[in-house]
Amino acid sequence: MRPEVPAAASRTSRASFGERLAAARSGKGSLCVGIDPHPALLAAWGLPDSPEGLERFSLAVLDAVGPVSVALKPQVALYERHGSRGFAVLETLLVRAAEAGVLTIADAKRGDIGSTMQAYAEAWLREGSPLAADAVTLNPYLGFESLRPALDLARSTGRGVFVLALTSNPEGRSVQHVGGDASVARSIALAAAGENADPDGAGRPGQLGHVGLVVGATVGDAAERLGLDLSRLNGPILAPGVGAQGAGTRELRAAFGGALPLVLPTSSRAILAAGPDGTRLRTAAERTRDELA
């Protein structure tokens, strides 16, 4: 039996994450742009590796590509390295994006158990939290059910989660591929699909659920080999690796096949390298989006 959602996390009147994502896709396409303020990229933009440089970089990306991207995905670690002032910049970015009607996916990859997972959930998904994003990435390798506080809170607040399932880094195979047809990755995908099929989740035909997966755009035929039927997820799939990591239309088709309509291709460095000029940034995002359409 699943625990009840606490009273403080009662269902919001906000449209569901799936509904808001569908609305954004209908007007902007499917490209998600990562905001990755690496020190080298800040330097290339002529910005200091400091909270001030971080803020100028982040808001410039929001202004330039927010209007043409389905969502922005700030990499939390690159804000965290600046300590409390870095988190303050991230809070500003999330608020400004919400004010502009731009969806945000906090790439935090959080995962733990019990009250600690509850705290992570409240930090990134609770209404009124200074770090509240439209969605957050989660790490399920303490067991999918350990994510329950975040799964339930996201559903109740109209937000979403993206659970790591099949990543493209070589080390991921040592965990995610274990089991062959009964692989760890397949069990995660099945559990996510189950959440979206729940009457308290998506529940309505054609509407994406609030639980998505992270599947690398460069995994090739790994999903097929491991028995993952991603087309049955009924939720969005975040697919990092477009551009600098080598993925394009061909790689996306090879990796996702019939699940391609669920995919949010994600590009970071290939687009951000066009900055700091805002017009060039937007042009790079539009070109990438159109090439993947």
| Cα-based distances in Å from 123 to 116, 135, 136, 219 | 11, 11, 10, 31
* Strand 211-215 versus strand 160-166 pairing type: parallel
Q: Which CATH superfamily is domain 18-292 in?
A: Aldolase class I (3.20.20.70)
**pLDDT, tens digit (0-9, with 9 covering 90-100), for 184-205:** 999 999 999 999 986 554 445 5
User: Backbone dihedral region of 65: left (phi > 0), alpha (psi from -120 to 50 degrees) or beta?
Assistant: alpha
Catalytic residue among 109, 173, 177, 232: 109
Question: What does the pLDDT read at residue 206?
Answer: 62
How crowded is the C-beta side of 170, counted as CA atoms within 13 Å?
A: 0
Q: Is 109 a catalytic residue?
A: yes
**pLDDT, tens digit (0-9, with 9 covering 90-100), for 16-44:** 999 999 999 999 999 999 999 999 999 99
Task: Give mean pLDDT, residues 153-174.
Answer: 96
Residue 9 pLDDT greater than 60, yes or no: no
Whole-angstrom distance, CA of residue 253 vs CA of residue 291:
13
* Closest among 83, 29, 10 to 267, alpha carbons compared: 29
Q: Is 222 helix (H, G, I), strand (E, B) or coil?
A: helix
The ranges assigned to domains in the chain are 18-292
Question: How far from chain centre, in Å, is Cα 245?
Answer: 17
Whole-angstrom distance, CA of residue 187 vs CA of residue 98:
34
Question: What does the pLDDT read at residue 293?
Answer: 81
